[in-house]
Amino acid sequence: MAHSAKRPSRKIPEATVARLPLYLRSLVGIADDGDPTISSERLAELSGFNAAQVRKDLSYLGSYGTRGVGYDVEYLLFQMSRELGLTHDWPVVIVGVGNLGHALANYGGFQERGFPVAALVDADPRVVGTVINGITVGHIDELPEIAAGQQIAIGIIATPASAAQEVADRLVAAEVGSILNFAPTILSVPDHVSLRKVDLAVELQILSFYQQRKSGRTVPPPAASVTPSELATPPEPSGSPTSPESHGSRATSGTAEAAPGGGSRSAPPRPPG
């Protein structure tokens, strides 16, 4: 099938953009298997969505498939790669090369998918100058020169939360247009900078919710809270002079007599006699 260079004029919704990488991953597997076409039902099954959603998403790419045949796999790969900007590489800098940053620097999947790790930077003098996966770690103060020299497009923040905002500010100042944040904190960046967050703790908490549902475990609610003052001060007897009901009142003499309905009431005092 001939590949048209014409792009669809419709704006692609953000939700669709978020699903395109999942479709792309499935299509790569189909292409490796040698299948020339794929149906929307099959692509939905592989990517975890329904067929109607798949067809709607692909329509934003200008691809509608052929009834009874499906979609041309090679052409879909071309369209998705073009729309996701994967037709050329986007150099990456990792800021913070502790345990997480070190692992990310050694991950070969970035290079394979068009995101080569071009630079590593850190503020720790014990780390600066070391070599990780063939890359010498630079100092954070050198970030502007590194970003310009390596044509950095994406910055990955792998620092503690306390340092993440300062790192984001430095990346913005170095004219890095996109940031992927692994630090467990909310960052503020200008509108022209694209920001994505990966919070592993949040993902684990979501899995915990579903795991608890599957296991049927329940946790009893906590007992009613008691204030420290209530624990320290025993309750006053009913009718004592310090109870709220007795404030501002005066004790009267007299005996209790039966009240209508089985209760009791105080008898009025006897007149002087």
Indicate which CATH number applies to the domain containing 48: 1.10.10.10
Q: What DSSP character marks residue 64? A: -
CB contact at 8 A, 181 and 200: no
Residue 178 lies in a domain: yes
Residues 106 and 164 in one domain: yes
Pick from 143, 177, 205: which residue ends a domain?
A: 205
Domain limits at 61?
14-82
Tens digit of each residue's pLDDT, the chain (273 residues): 444 444 545 689 999 999 999 999 999 999 999 999 999 999 999 999 999 999 999 999 988 888 888 999 999 999 999 999 999 999 999 999 999 999 999 998 999 889 999 999 999 999 999 999 999 999 999 999 999 999 999 999 999 999 999 999 999 999 999 999 999 999 999 999 999 999 888 899 999 999 998 888 777 777 765 555 555 555 554 444 433 343 443 333 333 343 334 444 444 444 444
Q: Hey, what are 156's tokens?
A: 């990955």
Residue 199 lies in a domain: yes
Q: Which residues, in sequence order, are CB contacts of 244 under 8 Å at separation 6+? A: none
Residues 177 and 108 in one domain: yes
Report CA dihedral (208, 212, 215, 218) to the nearest 10 degrees. Answer: 150
Residue 163 lies in a domain: yes
Q: Structural domain tally of the chain?
A: 2
> For the segment 69-122, what is each residue's pLDDT rounded down to a tens digit?
899 999 999 999 999 999 999 999 999 999 999 999 999 899 988 999 999 999
Residues 108 and 142 in one domain: yes
Residues 26 and 50 in one domain: yes
H or E, element range at 46: helix 40-47
Start-to-end Cα distance in the chain: 120
CB contact at 8 A, 81 and 98: no
Residue 261 lies in a domain: no
CB contact at 8 A, 157 and 183: yes
H or E, element range at 179: strand 178-181
pTM: 0.72
- In 3D, which of 90, 82, 81, 87 has the Cα closest to residue 155? 90
Number of Cα atoms under 13 Å in the Cβ half of residue 169:
6
Distance CA 267, CA 11 (A): 86
Residue 262 lies in a domain: no
pLDDT at 196: 95
